[in-house]
Amino acid sequence: MDNQNENNSPHILNTSANLLGLCFIVLTSIKVLKLKTVSIIDEFTSVAILFFMVSSILSFLSMRHKSLRNYRYERIADYVFLGGLCCLFITTMLIAFNIIS
């Protein structure tokens, strides 16, 4: 195990919860505006929501358990969080480069 004294779970939980809220706002805005042409945006946003939710849950569980499991939960939450960031990045690049019209 790496340095277990370094606990990143509160940071992961805080950031993933904030980005989860942002994804909900984006998805809700798309649905309210009834934009049919941006289906790939809502699909990537939905995947990002899933990633950030799982990351939040695992980070929370990591803070709750005081055993070897907390390190595992934190490490998995780290990777899942990175997956969510990648989904948001892809969505942003598609929009920025006008690939999605």
Say whether pLDDT at 101 is over 60. no
| Distance from C-alpha of 15 to C-alpha of 64, rounded to nearest angstrom | 18
Greater model confidence, 2 or 29: 29
pTM of the predicted structure, to 2 decimals: 0.79
Q: pLDDT tens digits, residue range 25-78? A: 888 877 787 766 567 878 888 899 999 999 999 888 888 877 777 888 888 989
Mean pLDDT for 8-19 is 83
Contacts of 9 (CB under 8 A, 6+ apart): 59, 60, 62, 63, 70, 73, 74, 77
Contacts of 86 (CB under 8 A, 6+ apart): none
